A and B are shown apart, each in its own frame.
Chain A
Amino acid sequence: MPLKPFRRHTGVVATLDRVDVDTDQIIPKQFLKRIERTGFGQFLFYDWRYLPDGSENPEFELNRPEFRGASILLTRRNFGCGSSREHAPWALEDYGFRVLIAPSFADIFYNNCFKNGLLPITLSEEQVEELFGRVRRRPGYQLTVDLEQCRLWDQEGLEFAFTVPEFQRHCLLHGLDQIALTLQHEDKILAYERRRGIGA
């Protein structure tokens, strides 16, 4: 499936001040029975976001008024650990996030993000701490993220460079369908299979 291309994005930053946020929290298992790929945003962080009676939990960060409409999520190390469920990036994307920033991400989750037009950015612990401070001090704090230049900045002179694996960056910038890309090399797949006697 071709992706939504990602070049530059400006948006409000929401914070989730926790380490090791696992994909079971991002999208709890009761919502994995659906066979669709869309509509998961309403279930994002469900068990944290809602109280047992179904009303919003005012304690949960994303429910704060200043984080409504946020499209950039700032969080702590090892975000997205645990289950490989791609429902996690689907839910984040459907909720309205386009960029995730953390000191580290879990491998499978990190990969899954790129396949869904979601840009995960790793910064150093110090840089992340600095951004947390800025969000705390300035409600409605915004960042601009530019994938072409691999830089992000705010209105107040802060600017950080980041790195993204070259191939993933290329695919995201141009919204490329990776299956189509691989199939451009179908002759090589066939040659490989012949060599190994697969499908003979």
Chain B
Amino acid sequence: MSAKTLFEKIWEAHVVHEEPGMQTILYIDLHLVHEVTSPQAFEGLRLAGRRVRRPELTVATMDHNVPTTDRSLPIADPVAQKQIETLRRNCQEFGIKLYDLNDPRQGIVHVIGPELGYTQPGMTIVCGDSHTSTHGAFGALAFGIGTSEVEHVLATQCLLQTKPKTMEVRVEGELPPGVTAKDLILYIIGRIGTHGGTGYCIEYTGSTIRSLSMEQRMTVCNMSIEAGARAGMIAPDEKTYEYLRGRPMAPKDFDRAVAQWEKLPTDPGAQYDRSVQFQAQEVVPQVTWGTNPGQVVGVTDVVPDPDSFPDPNDRKAARRALQYMDLEPGTPIEQIRIDRVFIGSCTNSRIEDLREAARVVRGYRVAPGVEAMVVPGSGTVKRQAEQEGLDRIFREAGFQWREAGCSMCLGMNPDVLQPGQRCASTSNRNFEGRQGKGGRTHLVSPAMAAAAAVMGHFVDIRNWEYR
């Protein structure tokens, strides 16, 4: 038997049918559904008179447009309200498990999937959301799909797919103190570019990756799509099994499942279509300066000069980005002042992220004129944080402490930047207008965002005085 990669093993185990001239019919083990990309899919089913083939393999929640303020109040936006009601109605009609707004386990779909134990090694997982790559942290093949594909999975529990190429991103060595998984993935995206992973499924390997916790691995895999890769994955190991053990939806016969999962990691000698390697010691805390996640530098750097880019398209893009971001080339990153801070999103809203941010904030106050908020990734994370007293640390420092959801990661709900406002954000996209029309987003780690909230501008977290 030839040596195989993790990706190849999962792919091959899910091929239902292949024939020349057709895409592969691939079986989907878990389909996650949310309110924004599903209504048209359910409507399509109804129009065609189709049913949901495997409702028991489908799980829904509402996260994208939900308010993060008092949930006992009615939703102010009638269009958002209608979308939420539509999901409720669709789940009822088609028999799909829904973690509704008032469910204590509600949260961002990519936070609750792993948290509840739905996400497991070896699975194929899809969702009408590009950050589905998050679930790859468990050694699953997980990727985002469009609404037509959501309908396709609902109707057939399968997808028509072209096999992607494989890319190994190997990282060796120890991350320096203060440098997090978020900095690592931003650094990688900065190096391979926002389209460096297009057409590939990434597998992250190496001693650095092995040393990351499950939550940190999720942060890394989450942003694979920002490098253009639909999926990013990490081989399962003891940490994966320990994380999953005892979760509500974990396999009942857990030891048997582990025995299966242990066969998944890439065989020695297996070939990837492309390999790149990085050294963890070279990574410093990262801050994006532009309008895509690849436009990123270290916190001790300056805003780059567009003319320094060799490619004319990159020069043009950098000029546009600096104009939008209202930044001058040569400005030290640490001199950039901010108006808002957002700690949240499927990239960085888990308990370890909140602990890290709280550790920075403890004993300090948010700088005058800065508005800062923490939005836990799920109700479960929120309760855990409250048990640990993290909410008090944040509140006493002047942070707002919100209900779970996507919130200002994409600003579909009322949490938005005002035009011209500058935000230090732990989310994953700094696109123009992403957090609100005219808003300016700098992507950073939770610790860096917390420190920026306190100082009112970016600072190098490696020099932070913890209180």
Give residues in A with beta carbon < 8 Å to B: 1, 17-20, 22, 24-25, 28-30, 32-37, 47, 52, 76-78, 81-86, 89, 104, 106-108, 111-112, 115-116, 165-168, 170, 178-179, 181-183, 185-186, 188-189, 192-193, 196, 198-199
In contact, A78 and B82 (Cβ under 8 angstroms): no
CB of B337 closer than 8 Å to a CB of A: no
Give chain A nearest CB distance to B187 CB in angstroms.
19
Give chain A nearest CB distance to B341 CB in angstroms.
20
The closest CB in chain B to the CB of A170 belongs to B21
- Extra pairs beyond A107-B198, A115-B146 (9, CB < 8 Å): A1-B148, A47-B432, A52-B419, A78-B195, A167-B162, A178-B152, A185-B25, A189-B158, A199-B56
In contact, B432 and A84 (Cβ under 8 angstroms): no
In contact, A108 and B148 (Cβ under 8 angstroms): no
Give the residues in chain A near B219, CB-CB below 8 Å: none
> Which stretch (B34-42, B204-212, B381-389) binds chain A?
B34-42
A20 to B23, CA, bound (A): 27
In contact, A19 and B429 (Cβ under 8 angstroms): no
Beyond A84-B144, A167-B21, A178-B152, is A1–B54 a contact (Cβ under 8 Å)? no
In contact, A29 and B21 (Cβ under 8 angstroms): no
In contact, B83 and A33 (Cβ under 8 angstroms): yes
Give the residues in chain B near A170, CB-CB below 8 Å: 21
Pick from B23, B47, B146, B230: contact of A86, CB below 8 A.
Answer: B146
A and B contact pairs by CB, cutoff 8 A, 15 listed = A19-B313, A24-B432, A29-B412, A30-B412, A32-B36, A33-B65, A33-B77, A37-B147, A81-B292, A82-B130, A86-B37, A108-B146, A167-B160, A178-B148, A182-B156
> Which stretch (B106-114, B314-322, B349-357) binds chain A?
B314-322
In contact, A84 and B313 (Cβ under 8 angstroms): no
The closest CB in chain B to the CB of A32 belongs to B36
Pick from B25, B151, B160, B412: contact of A33, CB below 8 A.
Answer: B412
Beyond A24-B429, A35-B43, A78-B198, is A85–B16 a contact (Cβ under 8 Å)? no
Pick from A17, A19, A106, A168: contact of B314, CB below 8 A.
Answer: A19
A82 to B189, CA, bound (A): 13
Pick from A32, A34, A106: contact of B195, CB below 8 A.
Answer: A106
Give the residues in chain B near A35, CB-CB below 8 Å: 39-40, 43, 82-83, 86
The closest CB in chain B to the CB of A1 belongs to B44
CB of B431 closer than 8 Å to a CB of A: yes
In contact, A1 and B47 (Cβ under 8 angstroms): yes
A24 to B152, CA, bound (A): 24
Q: Which of B36-83 contact A (CB under 8 A)?
A: 36-37, 39-40, 43-44, 47-48, 50, 53-54, 56-57, 64-65, 77, 79-80, 82-83
The closest CB in chain B to the CB of A33 belongs to B79
Give the residues in chain A near B313, CB-CB below 8 Å: 19, 76-77
Give the residues in chain A near B156, CB-CB below 8 Å: 179, 182-183, 186, 189
Pick from B148, B228, B230, B419: contact of A116, CB below 8 A.
Answer: B148
A141 to B144, CA, bound (A): 36
CB of B358 closer than 8 Å to a CB of A: no
In contact, A179 and B48 (Cβ under 8 angstroms): yes
Give the 5 A-B residue pairs with the shortest CB-CB distance, closest first: A35-B39, A115-B148, A86-B146, A112-B146, A84-B144
Q: Which of B4-39 contact A (CB under 8 A)?
A: 16-17, 21-23, 25, 27, 36-37, 39
Beyond A19-B313, A32-B36, A37-B40, is A189–B431 a contact (Cβ under 8 Å)? no
Give the residues in chain B near A182, CB-CB below 8 Å: 25, 152, 155-156, 158, 160
Q: Which of B344-387 contact A (CB under 8 A)?
A: none
Give the residues in chain A near B340, CB-CB below 8 Å: none
In contact, B155 and A111 (Cβ under 8 angstroms): no
In contact, A82 and B152 (Cβ under 8 angstroms): no
Pick from A1, A20, A30: contact of B48, CB below 8 A.
Answer: A1
Give the residues in chain B near A20, CB-CB below 8 Å: 194-195, 292, 317
A77 to B152, CA, bound (A): 29
Pick from A17, A24, A84, A89: contact of B37, CB below 8 A.
Answer: A84
Give the residues in chain B near A77, CB-CB below 8 Å: 195, 313
A1 to B433, CA, bound (A): 33
In contact, A188 and B16 (Cβ under 8 angstroms): yes
Give the residues in chain B near A166, CB-CB below 8 Å: 21
In contact, B16 and A185 (Cβ under 8 angstroms): yes
Give the residues in chain B near A199, CB-CB below 8 Å: 54, 56
Give chain A nearest CB distance to B433 CB in angstroms.
5
CB of B119 closer than 8 Å to a CB of A: no
Give the residues in chain A near B82, CB-CB below 8 Å: 33, 35
CB of B203 closer than 8 Å to a CB of A: no
Give the residues in chain A near B56, CB-CB below 8 Å: 199
CB of B149 closer than 8 Å to a CB of A: yes
In contact, B198 and A28 (Cβ under 8 angstroms): no
Q: Mark B163-206, 1 if CB is under 8 A from A, else 0.
A: 01000000000000000000000000000001100110000000
Give chain A nearest CB distance to B417 CB in angstroms.
12
A52 to B47, CA, bound (A): 38
Give the residues in chain A near B228, CB-CB below 8 Å: 78, 81, 106-107
Give the residues in chain B near A22, CB-CB below 8 Å: 292, 429, 431
CB of B129 closer than 8 Å to a CB of A: yes
Give the residues in chain B near A81, CB-CB below 8 Å: 194-195, 228, 292
Give the residues in chain A near B292, CB-CB below 8 Å: 20, 22, 81
Give the residues in chain A near B64, CB-CB below 8 Å: 32
CB of B128 closer than 8 Å to a CB of A: yes
Give the residues in chain A near B39, CB-CB below 8 Å: 35
Give chain A nearest CB distance to B12 CB in angstroms.
12
In contact, B25 and A189 (Cβ under 8 angstroms): yes
- Residue among A81, A82, A111 with most chain B CB within 10 A: A81
Give chain B nearest CB distance to A8 CB in angstroms.
22
